[in-house]
Structure 1
Amino acid sequence: MNLSVREIVAAVNGVNHAIQHEDQCVESVEFDTRKVIENSLFVPLKGARDGHDFIPQAIESGAFLVLSERELSEGVSYIKVEDTLVALQKLAQYFLEKVHPKVIGITGSNGKTTTKDMTEAVLSQHYKTYKTQGNYNNHIGLPYTILSMPEDTEMLVLEMGMDHKGEIEVLSNISKPDIAAITLIGESHIEYLGSRAGIAEAKMEITAGLKEDGVLIIPNDEPLLKRMIIDIPQTVDTFGIGTEATLSASILSETKVDTQFETNLFEGEVFSIPVLGGYNVKNALIALLIGHFFNVPVSKMKNGLATFDLTKNRTEWLKTNDGIDILSDVYNANPTAMKLVLDTFSALKLEGRKFIVLGDMLELGELSNQMHESVAEHISPKKIDQVYLYGEQMESLYNLLHERMPQGSIHFYRKTEKKEMMTHLSEKMQPKDTVFLKASNGMGLSEVVEFLLKSHE
């Protein structure tokens, strides 16, 4: 990046206290002192600690310019602003206009990270493409992503996350997407949004900044969204499996390492994705719609999907040294997502026994017991050999299942009993067995995955 002091002052509407010449440029923008390098602009943000307290450390690490809400000592080069977070967002908007890539915004209760990864893989076959790194998808992460993209970026794929109403509207207005996509409406954050309808309304905020000639992509099987698109002026494309959508898929085959499908729009073409599950085919359909809109050749789109890299902890296959397969999906969970993966895992033809480890799904509010119980219909003793339920909220599911499952096949552990659960699970599993783990990130099932890998070395 090259942003001059003059540009930054104008973009953030700040007061210039910079020692450097106005034409001198910063090469990166950072809010974490651990990432500051020579010629960085440091933006101190207020969180658990006030980033202003780390300004000396940032300067020592190489930052030559700082945004600050405070008056700083003489000899420090800074731009005075009223609010450093707002200034960061304004600077991102300026840089976005300067680079002027096409912008794709992706949100949804589940699958947005995978869809982002697939979309980047499809577009990067034909364009210089940059995407949200990791989970930098909020009011800080999104502007940081924008400011981190190379100046020759042609396509910018932005993941948009939220906890509360109004948050995606902010992200959409910062980024002004050309295409906006909603993967699905689940139950994540229903504690704060009240209902699935409230979640759908919050996800539809992605249209707040959508360009007038832009495109909105939604699932064809979501009536909540269908009702909300009646009055929007932009084009609406739909996707689904076995449905009359703009882009519809038929699944040809599913294994634990790949899924093949064909579509109504690209007749005679068979697409392959290196992940399991029909729900991931839906994510791939979004990527294909976006690639098609930007005229990426079908052969390149096929290659992009077949070789895309999935962000860590998203439905990741691992294997212990003694031959136990682990399907780790421990980054987040809501009832819709948990049921989708359970159905796919249950249907897989595997050599050994099937184990599942399910932890609490958080932020479900007063509906928590009911929603945990709803998972019971997706766990069959004919398809699952051993069930491990972890966390206080999983007790309601345990109470439903323990009479349906054979004696000795279902186990319940409270949050304080993680070590006991890990030990018992590890001792129970044998080579050629497969275990699927899923829970909200706050339940820390990644620790269970690591324990299994180490204990079966």
Structure 2
Amino acid sequence: MVCNYAPRVLASERYCSCSCTSHPNMRHMLSTLQKFRERAVIPVKLMSLVCSSRHYFDSSNIRSSKVNLYAREAVVSERPDLETISTPPDSVSESFGTRIFYDDCVWNALEIAEAVGGEIVRWGPSGTISTDTRKLLPGQWFFAISGENFDGHDFVNEALARERGCVGVIGNRVCQNWGNGFIKVEGHSNTALEKMAKFARDRFRGVVVGLTGSAGKTTTRIMVSLSLRSLGHIYQTRGNLNNGIGVALTLIGTPLDAKVAVLELGMSMEGEILKLARMSRPFVRVILNVGHSHLENLHDLEGVAKAKGELLREMDSGDLCVLNADDPFVMSIPIPLGARKVLFGRGVGCDVRLVLAERVDGGRAIRVILESNMPMPGSQFDVSTKRTSEMVEFKIHGPGLHLAMNACAAAAVAVALGVPLPQAAVSLSRFRPAPMRSQLIFTESGITVLNDSHNASLPSMISAIDSLKSMECRGRRACILGDMLELGADEERIHEMVLNLCSDPSIELIMLVGERFLRAAERLKIVDKVDAVLAEDPDSLAPTVNEFLAPGDVVLVKGSRKMEMEKVVSAIVE
């Protein structure tokens, strides 16, 4: 039983007139098809339903009827028992106690097939989409993509359905005894994923915000989502899914009733942001900053600015770009004719200005004053020429003055989209740092951990060390730093610069992980200046790290993603 695509869409909507429609099973099927129709954004018309067999089979687990269904461009010859659909749980726990609520868009087989241009070989129930069998939830479809070192099709086996609850596979092939849904695509399955993402973007009627920068993307994305909450349902990037696959999954997962989708866009080389911008087509495009990151591929700050600037290259007339006026590299990026510009920063003349940022609560929070000189919106997403000025004060719960600039950027997006500045400020005051990003952890042994282990660049290292120095401490302040990667020719100089920042009387202990920091420590003779512990990797340091710490200590842990410095955090916390 296969689904072949018909090169036609019939204009009429009608059912066959034979007596099969009076049978309870057929009525059940017609009801199910009606539900499919109602769920689509562009209503799926049930074209010319023709009964080709009056044989029915009933059991406690399955109902089947053999029909031909013309729906959009698909002809379907098989369907599942839709009463046994498994649904994903409301939430799932991640490390360090966070909870992610799954409200992803649910796709039915017809929609998936149309989106990827595929063939329904075997029906499967409606569900959300996953590309990772390790994280797949019951009731999800598995999209079998591939990379340099893996092929997702190799993980399709009977256990994926039986133990993980996978309801269907989207890809080139399935295993021999696969009994659940299968939508077959021709060509590279990664291309089909991008095609599905663009299909999802085309049918989404809300506002898309695309955000990039060398540092602070995830924190600002969370703040933007918070500040827009008064507009309704806000959907945002999960975790750090900001590459091509991650952005595609975010678009595919965006619920159709969301008012705004906030997308985090990352890159490591030229051309990647442009590709993501073409896929997501944001109405609001945010560039936070340009810093020393990915220099291995981009060579210098001008190269970073050019790569980040790809976000603005193909803006439509009337689109909004929200830019950091304090960053000369950001301000050097050309803006297309017809695009509207919103500036944030400390300078007079910014549309949303950071008037004050000061540490409070022993360095564990930031007092912020923002001023808006934005035009008052004539409607929710249209900016008029009338301007007013207003000022708000609020507190951000989290260490680091850099959070104030992130909040300023988020407020600029919110006000540009019609949210009053006071309402945005109330929402921003509810912000709490994401796991492994300026996250404070208080251990039972009395040690305070500033967990910033998710990633590291020079700007974020400077901010994190500055935060550590400012925090109240009853014991010693300690830095546990892992290598910074992808810095190219500036690698040695930047690691030495960071160590010089740590050679301060307020920091009494330094632990260094990785060959780059170890070489820099040797050149600077850091062990002669401060108590230092050196380790080749986090696995070497983790078993003994607590021997160097005591109650009352405040400890910063930070390093590039590939250094896996969260292993050290776990050792301290446990």
- TM normalised by structure 2 equals 0.72
User: C-alpha separation between the residues in 2 aligned to 1:204 and 1:19?
Assistant: 44
Aligned residues: CA RMSD: 2.7
More displaced stretch, 151-160 vs 79-88: 79-88
Distance 1:436 1:417, change over 3 A: closer
1:28 is matched with which residue: 117, 125, 128?
Answer: 128
Distance 1:121 1:416, change over 3 A: closer
The residue that corresponds to 1:306 in the other structure is 429
Structure 1 residues 145-156: aligned runs within 5 Å = 145-156=250-261
Are residue 439 (structure 1) and residue 559 (structure 2) matched? yes
Distance 1:446 1:9, change over 3 A: closer
Structure 1 residues 115-264: aligned runs within 5 Å = 115-229=220-334, 231=336, 233-242=338-347, 244-255=349-360, 256-264=363-371
SS at match of 1:95: helix
Contact 1:17/1:80, CA 8 A, preserved across alignment: no
1:68 maps to amino acid:
G
The residue that corresponds to 2:154 in the other structure is 53
Structure 1 residues 2-17: aligned runs within 5 Å = 2-14=106-118, 16-17=119-120
Residue 151 of structure 1, CA deviation? 2.4
More displaced stretch, 410-419 vs 185-194: 410-419
Contact 1:105/1:179, CA 8 A, preserved across alignment: yes
More displaced stretch, 266-275 vs 327-336: 266-275
Contact 1:381/1:406, CA 8 A, preserved across alignment: no
User: C-alpha separation between the residues in 2 aligned to 1:416 and 1:254?
Assistant: 33
2:171 is matched with which residue: 48, 61, 68?
Answer: 68
Gaps of 5+ in 1: none
Residue 201 of structure 1, CA deviation? 1.1
User: C-alpha separation between the residues in 2 aligned to 1:64 and 1:453?
Assistant: 38
More displaced stretch, 35-44 vs 79-88: 35-44
Distance 1:12 1:249, change over 3 A: same
2:457 is matched with which residue: 334, 342, 356?
Answer: 334
The residue that corresponds to 2:573 in the other structure is 453
Are residue 18 (structure 1) and residue 121 (structure 2) matched? yes
Residue 311 of structure 1, CA deviation? 2.3
Are residue 85 (structure 1) and residue 208 (structure 2) matched? no
User: C-alpha separation between the residues in 2 aligned to 1:320 and 1:4?
Assistant: 46
User: C-alpha separation between the residues in 1 aligned to 2:550 and 2:441?
Assistant: 15
2:480 maps to amino acid:
V
The residue that corresponds to 1:415 in the other structure is 536
User: C-alpha separation between the residues in 2 aligned to 1:231 and 1:151?
Assistant: 30
Distance 1:325 1:238, change over 3 A: same
Contact 1:373/1:396, CA 8 A, preserved across alignment: no
User: C-alpha separation between the residues in 1 aligned to 2:207 and 2:122?
Assistant: 36
SS at match of 2:344: strand
SS at match of 2:332: helix
Q: Deviations over 1:190-213 (max 9, x none)?
A: 111111111111111222454431
1:117 maps to amino acid:
I
Q: Deviations over 1:305-356 (max 9, x none)?
A: 1112432111111112132211111110011210122123223343332111
The residue that corresponds to 2:144 in the other structure is 44
Q: Deviations over 1:2-61 (max 9, x none)?
A: 5444443333233x24344xxx87332222335556664432111232222333445555
Distance 1:379 1:63, change over 3 A: closer
User: C-alpha separation between the residues in 1 aligned to 2:466 and 2:487?
Assistant: 21
Contact 1:324/1:432, CA 8 A, preserved across alignment: yes
Contact 1:240/1:282, CA 8 A, preserved across alignment: yes
Distance 1:335 1:396, change over 3 A: farther
The residue that corresponds to 1:283 in the other structure is 406
Residue 216 of structure 1, CA deviation? 1.3
Contact 1:402/1:410, CA 8 A, preserved across alignment: no
User: C-alpha separation between the residues in 2 aligned to 1:450 and 1:162?
Assistant: 28
- TM normalised by structure 1 equals 0.89
Residue 294 of structure 1, CA deviation? 1.6
Distance 1:268 1:135, change over 3 A: closer
1:297 is matched with which residue: 420, 427, 437?
Answer: 420
More displaced stretch, 295-304 vs 309-318: 295-304
Residue 231 of structure 1, CA deviation? 4.8
Contact 2:366/2:395, CA 8 A, preserved across alignment: yes
Residue 126 of structure 1, CA deviation? 3.0
Residue 179 of structure 1, CA deviation? 0.7
Distance 1:146 1:402, change over 3 A: same
SS at match of 2:390: coil
User: C-alpha separation between the residues in 2 aligned to 1:214 and 1:393?
Assistant: 43
Q: Deviations over 1:137-195 (max 9, x none)?
A: 11111111122222211110111111221111111111100111112111221111111
Residue 71 of structure 1, CA deviation? 8.9
User: C-alpha separation between the residues in 2 aligned to 1:223 and 1:246?
Assistant: 17
User: C-alpha separation between the residues in 2 aligned to 1:84 and 1:208?
Assistant: 28
User: C-alpha separation between the residues in 2 aligned to 1:55 and 1:125?
Assistant: 42
Contact 1:110/1:337, CA 8 A, preserved across alignment: yes
Distance 1:36 1:315, change over 3 A: closer
2:573 maps to amino acid:
L
SS at match of 1:137: coil
Residue 223 of structure 1, CA deviation? 1.8
Distance 1:71 1:151, change over 3 A: same
User: C-alpha separation between the residues in 2 aligned to 1:64 and 1:428?
Assistant: 50
Contact 2:216/2:288, CA 8 A, preserved across alignment: yes
1:201 maps to amino acid:
K
User: C-alpha separation between the residues in 2 aligned to 1:79 and 1:213?
Assistant: 40
SS at match of 1:442: helix
User: C-alpha separation between the residues in 2 aligned to 1:264 and 1:303?
Assistant: 14
Q: Which of the two has higher C-alpha Rg?
A: 2
Relative contact order higher in (CA < 8 Å, ≥ 6 apart): 1
Q: Deviations over 1:264-313 (max 9, x none)?
A: 31634102211122211111111101110121233331221111243211
Q: Figure out how many residues of one structure are paired with residues of the other and give that number.
A: 447
1:325 maps to amino acid:
T
The residue that corresponds to 2:33 in the other structure is none
Contact 2:237/2:264, CA 8 A, preserved across alignment: yes
1:427 is matched with which residue: 532, 547, 567?
Answer: 547
Contact 2:268/2:294, CA 8 A, preserved across alignment: yes
SS at match of 1:216: strand
Are residue 354 (structure 1) and residue 460 (structure 2) matched? no
Residue 105 of structure 1, CA deviation? 0.8
SS at match of 1:133: coil
User: C-alpha separation between the residues in 2 aligned to 1:38 and 1:322?
Assistant: 38
